[in-house]
A and B are shown apart, each in its own frame.
Chain A
Amino acid sequence: MTVTELPLTGEDATRSRDRLQVHRARWHNRRWLLLWLLAGPGILAMLGENDGPSMIAYTADGAQYGLGFFVPFIPVLFAMAYICQEMCMRVGAVTHRGYGALVLQRYGRAWGWFGAADLTLTNLVTLVAEFVSIRVGLAYFHLGSGVAVALGVTLVLFTLSGGRYWRWERIALGLAAFNGLFLLAAVLVRPRAGAVVSSLSFVPFPGGNFNTLLLLLASTVGATVTPWMIFFQQSASADKGLTARDIKHGRYDTAAGAALGAVFGVGALIAGAALLTHNGSGVQGFTGAGFPGALTHVAGSAAGTVFALGLIEAGAVAILTICASTAYAAGECAGVSHSFNRSPINAAVFYAANVGIALLAAVVILIPGAPLLSIALNANVLATVLLPVSLVFMVMLANDTALMGPRANKHSTNAVAISVIAFVGLCGTAYGIDSFLQATHLIGS
């Protein structure tokens, strides 16, 4: 086919170079190379969600309740995340458009902007929590907020400096590999193998009152599936240049991300469970500042150091992916260039949103006396409450045969996806209403 009339941009040329590598690998049947070239958005979405607040939530679960229930529950949540993220990847690969652009164009500007507003709000709150996570990790090494802010913002600027999606993605992937530090921390606390295996039976179910159980479910669900993941993976799949032919590898990528995310999440849980016999004192919630120190006390300085480094990594990777999802949404909804493959001059809104939201979150961290603990605790809950709306549109897009053709959702996928939406919606809503009733003293805590 000859396309002589279509004007080419630098973005086309850059993406074309990346796709040439894919074509060659496929042509020469180099399977592992093909997998390497096509991996990225799925792993980054899943490991990006293994962020600071999430890892602290898993660790707190372990410290408060031990291994039972959560060891199998975390993989189940990541399986749910896979269902959602596979749809994002598939829609991005088939339509070559991001989630924000498709919702805005297909269902109207109001829905598009509503989604973008939700995303910006939850992303800003979550980013503050990511900076807190870095600060908590650095505090173990006697470094303060200023270093955390400098590290996070410098990382965002550094990854954006190449003007190429491939470069941004590989740096983020390289950093995300260090999410494995939580698995190393689990090994260093020397858990009993028998206890880990026996916990696979979902028992004992966590005790405590109904409110505690809701908090537990909402925060753990919010630690696994969030709105930014939807925006990010679909847009990144399109930006990377995935096509319908790459869907199989996109599924491998997403499944690998889910598997790694679950394993590393369980690692954090096991590390936290080492504190169970010490009553988890002083380490609940985001006073997780005490986790590295507590682990040092229980399992030695290596475990504490590894855990602190893991928190820094978790926050850093999430800052990159969450800023990227904000930038994609801003560019798509404004109808302007939104690609890492363009220069800052040609995609000013995209780059400004990417850096701007990071700077905004950084400023909050530096405000003396800012309620960082409350912000961090409410970040996951707010994301869980707003997630069902994004998921419903995702399912609608994945079922849109005019867009997706034969790659639209099957009935079985829809059944599972609707169950996931119902479960997430129920958890978020129940906790949102319950906490509100408690705050207004309409029910007792």
Chain B
Amino acid sequence: MDDAPGTSGAGGQDLQPRQCFAGEQAIHLERGQLVTEASRPVPRAALGAGAAAGLLALRVFAVIVGLMVIYTFIGQLR
């Protein structure tokens, strides 16, 4: 997977100076913290078929159990 832009992870941006400048103004932020940088979406991760299926199964299971809780809640109202 590619390094995500604007993050201070494996891309080594953590080693950058703690201060950057925009025009005449000193900004005490890392580059990745600037709104312009942080607004850039990170690249999509490639999920394997197994991982995607596992997540989907967990999601469906959570929805089913959540519906059970809601059903119980409605039952308590009667």
Contact = CB atoms under 8 A, between A and B. Distances in A.
Contacts of B12: 405
B4 A402 contact: yes
Interface stretch (A91-99, A175-183, A269-277, A409-417): A91-99
Most buried by B among A6, A388, A407, A429: A6
A111 to B, nearest CB: 7
B22 A6 contact: yes
B50 interface: no
A436 B68 contact: yes
Q: DSSP class of A's interface residues: helix, strand, loop or mixed?
A: helix
Interface in A386-405: 386, 388-389, 392, 400-405
Given A382-B66, A402-B4, A6 B34 contact: yes
A8 B77 contact: no
A7 interface: yes
Nearest to B62: A389
A279 interface: no
Contacts of A389: 58-59, 62
B5 to A, nearest CB: 11
Nearest to B31: A3
A96 B33 contact: yes
A102 interface: yes
Given A15-B33, A95-B4, A406-B10, A1 B68 contact: no
Task: Please classify how large the interface on chain A is, using the bins under 10, 10 to 19, 20 to 34, 35 or more.
Answer: 35 or more
A234 to B, nearest CB: 13
B66 A385 contact: yes
B14 to A, nearest CB: 5
A436 B72 contact: yes
Nearest to B66: A385
Interface stretch (A16-24, A137-145, A349-357): A16-24
A433 interface: yes
Contacts of A6: 20, 22, 31, 34, 36-37
A439 B42 contact: no
A429 B42 contact: no
Given A2-B20, A23-B18, A96-B6, A16 B42 contact: no
A17 B70 CA distance: 46
Contacts of B7: 94-97, 403-405
A201 interface: no
B59 A114 contact: yes
Interface in A419-433: 428-429, 432-433
17 contacts: A12-B27, A96-B6, A96-B33, A97-B38, A108-B44, A243-B33, A245-B14, A371-B76, A371-B77, A377-B76, A382-B69, A385-B66, A386-B66, A392-B55, A404-B10, A432-B69, A439-B75
4 closest A-B pairs by CB = A405-B9, A405-B10, A436-B68, A402-B1
Given A6-B20, A436-B69, 10 more contacts: A1-B16, A3-B31, A9-B35, A96-B8, A106-B44, A243-B30, A337-B35, A388-B62, A405-B12, A435-B69
